Structure 1
Amino acid sequence: MGKYIFSRLINMIPTLFIVAIIVFLITRMIPGDPASVMLGPQASREDVEALTEALGLNEPIHIQFLQYIGNLLQGDFGVSLSYNQPITDLIINRFPNTVVLAVSALIIAFMIGVPAGIISASKQNSLIDYSITTISLIGVSMPIFWLGVMLVLYFSVNLGWFPATGMGSMDDGFISYLKHLILPSITLATIPTATFARITRSSMLEVITQDYIKTARSKGISEFIVISKHAFKNAFNPLLTVLGLQISSLLGGAVLTETIFSWPGMGLLIMDAIEKRDFVVVQSTVLFIALIFVMVNLVVDILYKVVNPKISYSTNKGGTK
């Protein structure tokens, strides 16, 4: 296990390096001159050229990249051009907000999607099964930006039950904070809920046809015990893998949700940086999210070994044998 973890950590380096290259090149292709955007339309040509030189944007692109990588190796993510503060501070302030939103969405998705998948598998080929399968398909296909707007229009504008935007503060009370959290959490949880339902149903259908499940039923064990204790326990391994992928997707995919609801997290920070041509923030935050993504995948692989000790990791192949 130790050798496997060390191997995975080493393999993270080229992955993150490739991400750094791609993000660096993409940010340089964003239309608009960062110096012109920062100074405004009334700035003189001399001022724009001076700021461009101060930012190092007049250097050849390979020199800019080497400087960027050198700063990263020293743990320096740079200073935001628009916020005028270290990007590390921005990440520290914004990332917990994204985690709160992502965890809330994940809890909703798991609590609804997994039981729905279990019920669907238990009632295979019934009206309940067809209904859950259809709803899951709709959920996976649902455009997040459209759903978020519809929820705001109905529950915030028409009914006035929940705030339309913002995060709220615990200083205003937990209920106020929770009201701000509900709509964005439901919006972000839609696709993971449908995914959990479909994967759970598929895994359960493979398990409940096994001989040991038939044996348990023949012994007169209640169907609830058979499903919850015997079947779901063995169907959980594929779900664990999907759980890890969904955590990573929620952290990285909160951009649209945070933009719709003005949730002050990493997603909104990235969108604001793109609009302001703050390429330093864009490349650093995307690289940080990529780091979180690979770390979450590593933790899931370790948990997979803990849940299923029969798995034997091969450090040479990076997989199982």
Structure 2
Amino acid sequence: MAAYLINRILQWIPVLLISSIIVFAVVRAMPGDPADIIAGPDATQADVQRIRAEYGLDRSLPVQYMAWLRHMGRGDFGVSYIYHRDNSELIFSRLPFSLLIAATSLLTALIFGVPFGLAAGLGEGKIIDWGASLFSSLAVATPGFWLGMLGIMLFAVKLGWLPPGGLTSTDESVFGFLCSLVLPTLTLGLHGAAVLMRSTRNAVIETLGESYIRTARAKGLRHRTLVYHHVLRNSMLPIVTMTGVLLGRMLGGAVVIESVFAWPGIGRLLVQSIINRDYGMVQGILIILVLFFLALNLVVDLLYGAIDPRIRLTGSHR
């Protein structure tokens, strides 16, 4: 297992290197010059040139990339052009709020998606299957930002039950903190529930068609035992795969949702940094997201081994 983990982590190096090149190229392709934004509208051309030299923006792109790569290799994310603070300090102060939204949204998706997907798979062709399919189709087709705006209009503006956005500190009010979580969590979680529902339904239907399920039924195995010990357990691999994919999607989708709900996470910070052409901040956030996805894939692979010992033996052998 230790050799497998070391091998997987070493495989991250070329992925991170290629990702850093893509991130750097995409960020530098953004229109606009950060020196103009830093200098302000009343600055002279000499002021802009001085700022470009101060931040190394007057150097060639390969030189800028190598300098950034050296700093990143030492764990130095640089200093924000706009906030005048360490990028790493800002990123890691905002990251827990994005992870909180992603975690609560994933929990919501699991609570609703897996049980209803299981029921739809067991009742293929019945009313519950039609209802689950209709809900999943509508939820997947509905844009997250539009669903979020509807939630704000209904529950915040019209009914006044929930805050329209922002984050209430736990020091101020624990209940207010929980209320501020509801709308962004449901906005991300309902889409995830629909995806998990569809994935679980398909996995259950496929498992029900296996020969060992027919054999278990022929032996008179109780329905509950058949469902929980055979059908659900053998359907877990695609469910775990989709759960890992969803967690990554939710953290990535937080870019939009955090902007809609004024949530103080890295998604909103990323949008603000793109608008302000804060190159170092944008690059740092994107690299952190790449690392998160790599770690998430590793965790999903390890979970495969915990669910199916045959996969664990294959992974250890490699």
SS in 2 for 1:167: coil
Q: Displacement of 1:173 after TM fit?
A: 2.3
Residue 237, structure 1, aligned to residue 237, structure 2:
yes
Give the partner amino acid of 1:192. Answer: G
Deviates more, 1:138-147 or 1:56-65: 138-147
Give the partner amino acid of 1:300. Answer: V
Judge conservation of contact 1:168–1:177 (CA < 8 Å) in 2: yes
> Corresponding residue for 1:26?
26
SS in 1 for 2:235: helix
Deviates more, 1:59-68 or 1:204-213: 204-213
Give the partner amino acid of 1:127. Answer: I
Q: Displacement of 1:208 after TM fit?
A: 1.9
> Corresponding residue for 1:112?
112
SS in 2 for 1:76: coil
Correspondence 1:112-151 to 2 at 5 A: 112-151=112-151
> Corresponding residue for 2:308?
308
> Corresponding residue for 2:290?
290
SS in 2 for 1:172: coil
Q: Displacement of 1:165 after TM fit?
A: 1.0
Please give the alpha-carbon distance, in whole angstroms, between the structure 1 residues aligned to 2:294 and 2:240. Answer: 16
Give the partner amino acid of 1:276. Answer: N
> Corresponding residue for 1:269?
269
SS in 1 for 2:310: coil
Q: Considering only aligned residues, what root-mean-square deviation do their CA atoms show, in Å?
A: 1.6
Please give the alpha-carbon distance, in whole angstroms, between the structure 2 residues aligned to 1:236 and 1:30. Answer: 42
Q: Displacement of 1:194 after TM fit?
A: 1.1
Correspondence 1:200-215 to 2 at 5 A: 200-215=200-215
Please give the alpha-carbon distance, in whole angstroms, between the structure 2 residues aligned to 1:169 and 1:86. Answer: 24
Q: Displacement of 1:224 after TM fit?
A: 3.0
Deviates more, 1:213-222 or 1:245-254: 213-222
Give the partner amino acid of 1:85. Answer: R
Q: Displacement of 1:234 after TM fit?
A: 1.1
> Corresponding residue for 2:257?
257
Judge conservation of contact 1:7–1:315 (CA < 8 Å) in 2: no
Q: Give per-residue Cα distances to partners, 1:37-68, cap 9 Å, x unaligned.
A: 12221112211111111010000111101101
Q: Displacement of 1:153 after TM fit?
A: 0.9
Please give the alpha-carbon distance, in whole angstroms, between the structure 1 residues aligned to 2:44 and 2:190. Answer: 49
Q: Displacement of 1:190 after TM fit?
A: 2.5
Q: Displacement of 1:219 after TM fit?
A: 4.8
> Corresponding residue for 2:78?
78
Structure 2: segments with no counterpart, 5+ residues: none
Give the partner amino acid of 2:119. Answer: I
Give the partner amino acid of 1:60. Answer: S
> Corresponding residue for 2:60?
60
> Corresponding residue for 2:41?
41
Please give the alpha-carbon distance, in whole angstroms, between the structure 2 residues aligned to 1:150 and 1:60. Answer: 47
Q: Displacement of 1:263 after TM fit?
A: 0.5
Judge conservation of contact 1:114–1:200 (CA < 8 Å) in 2: yes
Q: Displacement of 1:314 after TM fit?
A: 5.6
Please give the alpha-carbon distance, in whole angstroms, between the structure 1 residues aligned to 2:316 and 2:38. Answer: 49
SS in 2 for 1:191: helix
Please give the alpha-carbon distance, in whole angstroms, between the structure 2 residues aligned to 1:152 and 1:228. Answer: 39
Give the partner amino acid of 2:74. Answer: Q
> Corresponding residue for 1:166?
166
Scaled by the length of structure 1, the TM-score of the pair is: 0.94
Structure 1: segments with no counterpart, 5+ residues: none
Judge conservation of contact 1:4–1:313 (CA < 8 Å) in 2: no
Q: Give per-residue Cα distances to partners, 1:96-140, cap 9 Å, x unaligned.
A: 001110000000000000011001011111121111112112212
Please give the alpha-carbon distance, in whole angstroms, between the structure 2 residues aligned to 1:38 and 1:153. Answer: 36
Judge conservation of contact 1:117–1:199 (CA < 8 Å) in 2: yes
Scaled by the length of structure 2, the TM-score of the pair is: 0.95
Please give the alpha-carbon distance, in whole angstroms, between the structure 2 residues aligned to 1:56 and 1:315. Answer: 47
Give the partner amino acid of 2:179. Answer: K
Q: Give per-residue Cα distances to partners, 1:205-245, cap 9 Å, x unaligned.
A: 11123343334444544433321232101111111111111
Please give the alpha-carbon distance, in whole angstroms, between the structure 2 residues aligned to 1:59 and 1:237. Answer: 50
Deviates more, 1:45-54 or 1:209-218: 209-218
Please give the alpha-carbon distance, in whole angstroms, between the structure 2 residues aligned to 1:84 and 1:132. Answer: 50
SS in 1 for 2:76: coil
Please give the alpha-carbon distance, in whole angstroms, between the structure 2 residues aligned to 1:54 and 1:161. Answer: 50
SS in 1 for 2:289: helix
Judge conservation of contact 1:241–1:300 (CA < 8 Å) in 2: yes
The total of aligned residue pairs comes to 317
